[in-house]
Chain A
Amino acid sequence: AQSVTQLDSQVPVFEEAPVELRCNYSSSVSVYLFWYVQYPNQGLQLLLKYLSGSTLVESINGFEAEFNKSQTSFHLRKPSVHISDTAEYFCAVGANTGGFKTIFGAGTRLFVKA
Chain B
Amino acid sequence: SQTIHQWPATLVQPVGSPLSLECTVEGTSNPNLYWYRQAAGRGLQLLFYSVGIGQISSEVPQNLSASRPQDRQFILSSKKLLLSDSGFYLCAWSSEWAQYFGPGTRLLVL
Residues of B within 8 A of A105 (CB): 43
Interface pair A46/B102, CB less than 8 Å apart: no
- Mostly, the A contact residues are strand
- Contacts between chains A and B (CB distance < 8 A), count: 50
Complex CA–CA separation, A26 to B100 (angstroms): 23
- B41 to chain A minimum Cβ distance, whole angstroms, is 8
Interface pair A101/B46, CB less than 8 Å apart: yes
- A101 to chain B minimum Cβ distance, whole angstroms, is 7
Q: Of B13-21, B62-70, B72-80, B90-98, which binds chain A? A: B90-98
Residues of B within 8 A of A (CB): 32, 42-44, 46, 49, 51, 57, 90, 92, 94, 96-104, 106
Residues of A within 8 A of B (CB): 32, 34, 36, 41-46, 49, 51, 90, 92, 94, 99-102, 104-107
